[in-house]
Amino acid sequence: MSKYYIFDFDSTLTKVEALDVLAEITLANNPKKEEVINEIIKITNLGIDGDISFTQSLERRIKLLNAKRSDLNLLIQELKKRVSSSIERNKEFFESYSENIYVISAGFKEFIIPIVAEYNIPAERVFANTFEFSQDGEIIGFDRDNVLSVHNGKIACLQNLQLDGEIQVIGDGYSDYITKEAGVADKFFAYTENVQREKTIKNADYITPNLDEFLFINDLPRNISYPKNRIKMLLLENIHADAYEKFTNDGFTVETVGRSLSEEELIEKLQDVHVIGIRSKTQITKKVIENAPRLLAVGAFCIGTKQIDLDACKENGIVVFNAPYSNTRSVVELAIGEIIMLMRSVFQRSTEIHNGEWNKTAQGSKEVRGKKLGIVGYGNIGKQLSVLAEALGMDVYYYDVEDKLALGNATKMNSLADLLAISDVVTLHVDDNSLNRNYIGAKEISQMKDGAHLVNLSRGFVVDIPALTEALKSGKLAGAAVDVYPEEPRKNGDFYTDLKGLPNVILTPHVGGSTEEAQRDIADFVPGKIMAYINSGNTVDAVNFPNIRLPKQQNSHRFLHMHKNVSGVMANINKVVAEFGLNIVGQYLSTDPKVGYVITDVDKDYNQDVIQELKNVEGTLRFRVLY
Ligand SMILES: NC(=O)c1ccc[n+]([C@@H]2O[C@H](COP(=O)([O-])OP(=O)(O)OC[C@H]3O[C@@H](n4cnc5c(N)ncnc54)[C@H](O)[C@@H]3O)[C@@H](O)[C@H]2O)c1
Ligand SMILES: O=C(O)[C@H](O)COP(=O)(O)O
């Protein structure tokens, strides 16, 4: 049986209502422009929702528009720029199915025909109103004999067409969904790419957030193999709103949760999730990974990735990304601030005055200039801190397990003990490697100068808290600043640490990287990496997977094959490809000792059975097709 696809024009094929755009043009120099445009939009919506008769809505708008024939040229130019994105990228469908596509609109042929002509829809398959012009070219009305100029005109139009086959109507408003109710359409698709109208959605057989989804449901030729709206993302722990916006703007479906989830909660939530975004609290364990059937990628919207079982991800073909640089400056600035606050006992003085006590004293209050700063861990944060601390006049010393080049005048120390012995302030910036558990304990503290200060902005488990508490109580250490704790709560609320109430101890709730700048930057960086992977297979900057930067896909289908790095897999993949006679236009491979990632670009025409055969290759972890 033939199928006919009946498209609405305004807000479906185009992002906008054409008469609203015409109003923008004709009222450009009118001082009451905003007022009139709002009135026109109000009338348009009343008509679309069926709250006033369509003829009434048309009459009222045309009067307010005050447009001329010459304005239509500008309108057409404008509308060409505002064709719906997913319509634009699926020209192939319109070209191959032209005979089955009709545009039925309560808009006007004068601007619809030139727009849809570019999509291979000829004028004879466009059903719409026509304007009436005065002798000097003013739009003064419309052809009232046209069925589309009256209420429920689309029903009459479809009846007159007498199409023999299944009729699918795609549109965004009342006049579209009513065709199904009237029995002249078999299916109604609510098109929500540009507007989401409650009533339209309620009356739909399917909701299609874009044309990709419509084409997917109908198994029609399309530009994207799998509609992005079907790819679900879950963002936890208050990830900056920019990330939500980036993903949704690209068409993905995104859910956000303001806190971290437990293992059980994660497993329940992840059943239909393709990408999860977390920060430092959420534990992505092996059990979570093994119970997340659709998971393709994990985004750590922070630096640390120890909360993620990277090996389990790798073994399941799940790619992990993080943001290694975005929040480093924020940590450094906090460290500098805390070092100064500690050495001046500012928090003690502040607490006293909050408690009603005036204690003006210089005792125990020192400048940082000329003092020795010991940086443990000379990585991205340690190095930046080194430069800033020197600018303040501090003598910088550092210790790192790796060979790290000294920046500025910093002095490299050969052992932790030597660094601890020389420093007035010791600041910890080691990575979240579990070997660093209790790295600074009673022994290390005893190696520090009497009256020194300790700052920990790295990970809570790096410092033995009972030992630190004891050293602060005994006066061995003059003060400490702690931002991270061995156990941190999943959400804001009650919290206890033994360090509570000790004088000259600055306690912050893991906010070293929590600045607007850092969070915004992370929300730009990580989604960029994730989308590059989901949309084109790139694994550049992945933390657990072979990194590969792929060339742009050119008129080809892309097979992404992740497999165990065991002998014979590549040979078997290429054997399958050869058996199916596929023409390879590009092939790229990257491996690490455990996994291989091979990307094969093939000509567009191929036997679909090859996909199952490639999935069956022994050692396959995951297989995706992109086009
Ligand atoms: N408080 C926060 O909000 C916050 C924000 C960002 C980063 N962090 C944490 O800060 C730490 C540093 O981050 P980074 O981006 O600079 O990491 P990085 O990986 O760039 O640098 C860490 C450095 O520590 C060194 N190192 C590791 N173990 C060591 C040891 N036992 N002794 C001496 N050196 C050792 C490494 O060789 C490396 O040079 C990480 O633990 C990170 O998770 C905390
Ligand atoms: O790993 C990090 O980047 C820091 O610990 C910050 O983590 P957060 O995003 O959970 O604050």
pLDDT of residue 78: 97
Report residue 188 as tokens: 């109604």
What are the pLDDT digits (tens) for 313-328? 999 999 999 999 999 9
- CATH number for the region 231-326+515-545 comes to 3.40.50.720
d(CA 214, CA 113): 23
Out of 429, 510, 561, 624, the active site residue is 510
Q: Which amino acid does the sequence have at 214? A: F
pLDDT of residue 50: 75
Instruction: Tell me: pLDDT of 391 over 90.
Output: yes
Q: Quick one: which ligand is closest to 523's CA? A: 2
Report residue 9 as tokens: 């024009």
**CA 433 to ligand 1 center in whole angstroms:** 9
Catalytic residue flag (residue 510): yes
Query: Which of 384, 388, 431 to mutate to test ligand 1, by most ligand atoms within 8 A of the CB atom?
Result: 431
Q: Averaged over 572-582, what is the pLDDT?
A: 93
* Ligand 2 lined by 327 (C-beta under 6 Å): yes
Catalytic residue flag (residue 88): no
Q: Averaged over 566-587, what is the pLDDT?
A: 93
* Ligand 1 lined by 485 (C-beta under 6 Å): no
Report residue 11 as tokens: 């807000």
pLDDT of residue 608: 87
**CA 558 to ligand 2 center in whole angstroms:** 35
Q: How confident is the model at residue 561 (pLDDT cuts 50, 70, 90)?
A: very high
* Top CATH class, 550-626: alpha beta
Q: Which residue owns the Cα nearest ligand 1 atom 15?
A: 380
**CA 262 to ligand 2 center in whole angstroms:** 18
Instruction: Tell me: pLDDT of 604 over 80.
Output: no
Residue 100: closest CA among 17, 170, 200: 170
* Ligand 2 lined by 563 (C-beta under 6 Å): no
Q: Which amino acid does the sequence have at 504? A: N
* Ligand 2 lined by 514 (C-beta under 6 Å): yes
pLDDT of residue 140: 93
What are the pLDDT digits (tens) for 98-150? 999 999 999 999 999 999 999 999 999 999 999 999 999 999 999 999 999 99
Instruction: Tell me: pLDDT of 49 over 80.
Output: no
**CA 513 to ligand 2 center in whole angstroms:** 6
Q: How confident is the model at residue 54 (pLDDT cuts 50, 70, 90)?
A: confident
Strands (E) located in 214-369: 232-235, 253-256, 275-278, 297-300, 319-321
User: Among the CATH numbers 1.20.1250.20, 3.40.1410.10, 3.40.50.720, 3.30.930.10, which is that of 328-514?
Assistant: 3.40.50.720
pLDDT of residue 41: 86
**Beta-bridge partners for 235:** 256, 277
Report residue 470 as tokens: 């004891």
The C-alpha angle with vertex 166 and arms to 87 and 199, in degrees rounded to 5, equals: 60
Instruction: Tell me: pLDDT of 174 over 80.
Output: yes
The C-alpha angle with vertex 588 and arms to 582 and 592, in degrees rounded to 5, equals: 130
**CA 376 to ligand 1 center in whole angstroms:** 9
- Is 94 within 8 Å of 121 (Cβ atoms)? yes
The C-alpha angle with vertex 173 and arms to 169 and 179, in degrees rounded to 5, equals: 40
* Ligand 1 lined by 381 (C-beta under 6 Å): yes
Residue 624: closest CA among 356, 148, 352, 231: 231
Domain limits of the chain? 3-217, 231-326+515-545, 328-514, 550-626
Tokens 């000379």 belong to residue: 378
**CA 459 to ligand 1 center in whole angstroms:** 8
Out of 274, 459, 561, 624, the active site residue is 459
pLDDT of residue 577: 92
**CA 386 to ligand 1 center in whole angstroms:** 14
How does 200-211 read in b/e, with b if 16+ C-beta sit within 10 Å?
A: beebbeeebbbb
What are the pLDDT digits (tens) for 300-356? 999 999 999 999 999 999 999 999 999 999 999 999 999 999 999 999 999 999 999
CA distances from 117 to 9, 98, 241, 319, 418 (A): 13, 11, 39, 43, 78
d(CA 577, CA 347): 68
Out of 78, 92, 138, 488, the active site residue is 488
Burial of residue 162, with CB atoms counted within 10 A of its CB: 0-12 exposed, 13-18 middle, 19 or more buried: exposed
Residue 581 C-beta-side C-alpha neighbours within 13 Å: 3
Q: Which residue has the higher pLDDT, 445 or 608?
A: 445
What are the pLDDT digits (tens) for 227-260? 999 999 999 999 999 999 999 999 999 999 999 9
Instruction: Give the atom of ligand 1 at the shortest distance from the alpha carbon of 430.
Output: 24
Q: Averaged over 532-550, what is the pLDDT?
A: 97
Query: Which of 281, 303, 435 to mutate to test ligand 1, by most ligand atoms within 8 A of the CB atom?
Result: 303
Give percent above pLDDT 70 in the chain. Answer: 100
Q: Averaged over 187-200, what is the pLDDT?
A: 96
Catalytic residue flag (residue 488): yes
* Ligand 2 lined by 280 (C-beta under 6 Å): yes
Q: Which amino acid does the sequence have at 85? A: S
* Ligand 2 lined by 197 (C-beta under 6 Å): no
Q: How confident is the model at residue 151 (pLDDT cuts 50, 70, 90)?
A: confident
Fold (topology level) of 3-217: Rossmann fold (3.40.50)
Q: How confident is the model at residue 55 (pLDDT cuts 50, 70, 90)?
A: confident
pLDDT of residue 47: 80
What are the pLDDT digits (tens) for 469-509? 999 999 999 999 999 999 999 999 999 999 999 999 999 99
Q: Averaged over 543-562, what is the pLDDT?
A: 93
Q: How confident is the model at residue 545 (pLDDT cuts 50, 70, 90)?
A: very high
* Element containing residue 76 per DSSP (H, E): helix 69-81
Residue 430: closest CA among 448, 405, 457, 406: 457
Q: Averaged over 12-41, what is the pLDDT?
A: 92
* Ligand 2 lined by 379 (C-beta under 6 Å): no
- Among 433-442, 578-587, 599-608, where is mean pLDDT lowest? 599-608
- Among 44-48, 326-330, 352-356, 519-523, where is mean pLDDT lowest? 44-48
Strands (E) located in 508-619: 557-564, 584-591, 595-602
Instruction: Tell me: pLDDT of 220 over 90.
Output: yes
* Ligand 1 lined by 279 (C-beta under 6 Å): no
Instruction: Tell me: pLDDT of 555 over 90.
Output: no
d(CA 195, CA 617): 44
3 state DSSP class of 210: coil
pLDDT of residue 22: 94
ipTM of the complex: 0.99
d(CA 606, CA 613): 13
Instruction: Tell me: pLDDT of 182 over 80.
Output: yes
Q: Averaged over 56-77, what is the pLDDT?
A: 93
Task: Give start and end residues of each alpha helix (H) in 97-203.
Answer: 109-117, 153-161, 174-181, 198-202
* Ligand 2 lined by 519 (C-beta under 6 Å): no
Instruction: Tell me: pLDDT of 52 over 90.
Output: no
pLDDT of residue 48: 73
What angle, 0 to 180 degrees and rounded to 10, lies between the N-to-C axes of helices 69-81 and 18-26? 120
Query: Which of 237, 278, 281, 303 to mutate to test ligand 2, by most ligand atoms within 8 A of the CB atom?
Result: 303
Q: How far apart are the first and last CA of the chain?
A: 28
**CA 604 to ligand 1 center in whole angstroms:** 47
Give percent above pLDDT 90 in the chain. Answer: 91
| Mean pLDDT across the chain | 96
d(CA 159, CA 182): 10
pLDDT of residue 607: 87
Domains 3-217 and 328-514 share a fold: yes
* Ligand 1 lined by 444 (C-beta under 6 Å): no
